Amino acid sequence: MQDLTINAVGAQGDGLSRTEDGKPAFVPLTLPGERVRATMDGARGEVEAILAASPDRIVPSCKHFGTCGGCALQHWAAQPYLAWKAEQIRIQLSMGGLETEILPTFASPPASRRRVALHARKGGKGQGARLGFKERRSWNLTPIEECPVTDPRIIAALPALARLAEPFLEHPKSAPTLHVTLTGTGLDIDVTGVERKSGGLSADARMRAAMAAGEGDFARVTLAGETVYGARQPLVKLGQAVVALPPGAFLQAVPAAERAMVDFAVAESQGANRIADLYCGVGTFTFRLAEIAGVYAAEMSAPAIAALKAAVGPTSGLKPITAEARDLVRRPVLSTELAKTDVVVIDPPRAGAAEQTVEIAKSKVGKVVGVSCNPATFAKDARVLVDAGFRLEKVAPVDQFVWSPHIELVGVFTR
């Protein structure tokens, strides 16, 4: 056991310190300036006592905090916590030799997350399924009774979701995850992690799952994309369009964060005659951008593109939208194809968009709005654009995953 002084909070949300022999120490659930007593296991420590607490330490809002691995920073006051998120972006940019204006962090409200992944495990004898999140640094399960991050309508459905999970546990090797999305027509649940080598879910289990879904009044339940139960088509509104979600479709986790990022992109795209929306998903940015100019939208998922296209016809007030299912890693949109494009909006996965960024850099596009859930890969792509003559004008941090170390951002590049 050692007494440590916490110097900063690192990128993963752990307090950073030095052991008595000068080696780095990572201590979760601590804050800058604190003096703590910790049990060390290699470079990682677990707090035994807070000897001198930071004035920024607050009482966590969830009784599961500290055990549940979903949140890492509930014990930090809002202002320094949000400033830390912006600082993580500055650090990643500086590692790439980049500087820019970093705007104040947009703070998503608590109890607003509409998309969660719930893990299911067998309960004790005579009990149903246990449902929750993984423990901190463990594969064990923390059964969830409350969650101040998640929309209360999902929390209210936890008992019904646990009953739904039970039939998916019939095989001893199954470890189901319920990917739950709150839509305008109810809960849409896509289940993964069910053992398939032995034949998959039995007819009896499917029937019991469908009955549980009906009792829970869920909109739809799918097993790795295959429909198990369908009462209503899950619908979401994106701009003026109403989109029917494909099973397992990507959707931004928090509506307020989605609005903030889309509003930012739309404001920066004003005056454009043609816009490219790359990694467009089901049209999160597309439909709002199409109120300004014609949009070329590309996304690898064919079902997502089909859903986007189906929503175009019934929606009025849009400029023309051309949508294409296209692998932007293996077949990025070429610089020549961007010849008449004024603005590119790009929202790649965590791995970034290295291949597509090279083509944008070679093009004559005047402005790029980059959306990212990974400041490190954003910085790498930004370096390519800056080296090609773009200027990173500003970055807006977005705290979509509240109290976690994850950071979203929107950056603006101009020639």
Q: For residue 306, is pLDDT > 80?
A: yes
Q: For residue 26, is pLDDT > 70?
A: yes
- Residues 312-346 have pLDDT tens digits of 999 999 999 999 999 999 999 999 999 999 999 99
In terms of phi and psi (left: phi > 0; alpha: psi -120 to 50; beta: otherwise), the region of 263 is alpha
Q: Which two tokens stand for residue 147?
A: 């969650």
**Coil, helix or strand at residue 376:** helix
What is the mean pLDDT of the segment spanning 289-296?
98
What is the mean pLDDT of the segment spanning 179-183?
98
144 pLDDT band, cuts 50/70/90, is: very high
Q: For residue 124, is pLDDT > 80?
A: no
Crossing angle for the helix pair 158-165 and 203-215, to the nearest 10 degrees: 170
Give me the residues paired with residue 57 across strands.
Answer: 76
7 pLDDT band, cuts 50/70/90, is: very high
pLDDT computed for residue 198 by the predictor: 73
299 marked as part of a ligand binding site: yes
Tokens 């899950």 sit at which residue? 234
Average pLDDT, the chain: 96
- Residues 252-273 have pLDDT tens digits of 999 999 999 999 999 999 999 9
- Residues 221-251 have pLDDT tens digits of 999 889 999 999 999 999 999 999 999 999 9
197 pLDDT band, cuts 50/70/90, is: confident
Catalytic residue among 62, 147, 280, 373: 373
pLDDT computed for residue 126 by the predictor: 65
Q: Which amino acid is at 150?
A: T
Contacts 24+ apart (CB under 8 A), 159-163: 160/212, 160/215, 160/216, 160/217, 160/218, 161/118, 161/131, 161/187, 161/189, 161/216, 162/120, 162/128, 162/129, 162/130, 162/131, 163/128, 163/129, 163/212, 163/215, 163/216
399 marked as part of a ligand binding site: no
What is the mean pLDDT of the segment spanning 179-207?
92
Active site residue 71: no
- Residue 64's alpha-carbon distances to 31, 72, 179, 359, in angstroms, are 19, 11, 20, 46
pLDDT computed for residue 100 by the predictor: 98
pLDDT computed for residue 224 by the predictor: 86
127 marked as part of a ligand binding site: no
pLDDT computed for residue 21 by the predictor: 87
Give me the percent of the chain exceeding a pLDDT of 90: 92
pTM above 0.85? yes
pLDDT computed for residue 200 by the predictor: 79
Q: For residue 127, is pLDDT > 80?
A: no
pLDDT computed for residue 136 by the predictor: 86
Domains of the chain: 2-57 (2.40.50.140), 81-109+254-414 (3.40.50.150), 115-235 (2.40.50.1070)
196 pLDDT band, cuts 50/70/90, is: confident
pLDDT computed for residue 356 by the predictor: 98
What is the mean pLDDT of the segment spanning 353-377?
98
pLDDT computed for residue 139 by the predictor: 84
347 marked as part of a ligand binding site: yes
What is the mean pLDDT of the segment spanning 198-202?
81
pLDDT computed for residue 309 by the predictor: 98
